[in-house]
Structure 1
Amino acid sequence: MQNAHLDELDLQILDILIKDCRTPYLEIARMCHVSGGTIHVRMKKMEDLGIIKGSRILLNLPKLGYDVCCFVGIYIDKTSSFSAVTEELAKIKEVVELHLITGNYSIFAKVICKSIADLQDTLTNKINNIIGIERTDTFISLSQPIDRNIQL
């Protein structure tokens, strides 16, 4: 989506929300020197355009017992299997992101697990059992020194 429909105020609103999505509309209005109604109208416009898709809570996963983050490169046996494979991967709760990519893999998945044993079970009994997956390569994340949204 091009930002041809966005003006400087829209970008200012998005910048504020990227920093803290819980900022109240009236606070955004004060920061932007406009009325609260203007912020509501702009937010509705950006939602209707599909620019704002919702808001999320960010969890500290290790504090909840999810200590293993990894990325799984997935080889699909043939392109006709792709749709069925993605549908099956979507059913696995440990798969939190799925990316269609260029390069050696067909799909790159982000997987979050509680332990290495949990990861092994997810790989062996869930992911690698999906019909259409030829094989996988797994990369365990040791740390995540950068975690941010894009800055406008």
Structure 2
Amino acid sequence: MNELDDTDRQLLLALSQDATLSAGALGRKLGLSQPATWRRIKRLQDSGIIAGRRLDLDREKLGFGVTVFLGVKLATKGRVSLDDFERAVSAIPEVQTVEHVLGMYDYRLRVTARDIADFERVLRRRVMTLPGVGDVEANVLLSEERRPGPLG
């Protein structure tokens, strides 16, 4: 599926704003019947455009008040494979995202912790002991503004 019509785009925008809406509620919003809406959703899922739906948790209310972005440069790329590093870092529960990037660092990690002391523990005991880790740069998240994606 390469072509999306305006209704597909409106459907994707509505789902990106609230993925819990039923096909009936989405249909009413878009002027479609429930079955027609469900068929469109199914087609978008089958084509891979809708890759899943996820739960968005409030980390602060769950007791995780600190988010830090880490830039990680591997020191020994020849001896340690990228797969080994990715597998090891993905096993750390506080690491929310692992992004292989081009630029000054090899990886960008999003780490959540209860507080700065908890983050320091994660950094020292878990991240810095990973295979191949060289330079690490930390940026503490002060605030976050959600912006609509490319459909909004």
User: 1:106 is matched by which residue type in structure 2?
Assistant: D
- Corresponding residue number in structure 1 for 2:149: 150
Equivalent residue of 1:63, what SS?
coil
Alpha-carbon distance between aligned partners in 1 of 2:137 and 2:119, rounded to the nearest angstrom: 13
CA RMSD of aligned residues (A): 1.5
User: 1:147 is matched by which residue type in structure 2?
Assistant: R
- Corresponding residue number in structure 2 for 1:138: 138
8 Å contact kept, 1:13–1:28? yes
- Corresponding residue number in structure 2 for 1:122: 122
- Corresponding residue number in structure 2 for 1:34: 32
- Corresponding residue number in structure 2 for 1:11: 9
With the length of structure 1 as denominator, give the TM-score of the two structures: 0.91
Equivalent residue of 2:28, what SS?
helix
Alpha-carbon distance between aligned partners in 1 of 2:6 and 2:36, rounded to the nearest angstrom: 13
User: 1:125 is matched by which residue type in structure 2?
Assistant: R
More helix by share: 1
Equivalent residue of 2:103, what SS?
coil
Identity between Structure 1 and Structure 2 (%): 28
User: 1:83 is matched by which residue type in structure 2?
Assistant: D
- Corresponding residue number in structure 2 for 1:90: 90
Deviation at 1:151, TM superposition (A): 4.3
- Corresponding residue number in structure 1 for 2:54: 56
With the length of structure 2 as denominator, give the TM-score of the two structures: 0.91
Moved over 3 A (4+): none
Deviation at 1:148, TM superposition (A): 3.4
Once the two structures are superposed, residues 15-56 of structure 1 have per-residue CA deviations (whole angstroms, 9 ceiling, x without a partner) of 111121111210111122221111111111111111112212
User: 2:149 is matched by which residue type in structure 1?
Assistant: I
Once the two structures are superposed, residues 40-97 of structure 1 have per-residue CA deviations (whole angstroms, 9 ceiling, x without a partner) of 1111111111111221222221111101101000011216521110111110011101
Larger mean CA deviation between 89-98 and 51-60 belongs to 51-60
Larger mean CA deviation between 102-111 and 130-139 belongs to 130-139
User: 1:91 is matched by which residue type in structure 2?
Assistant: A
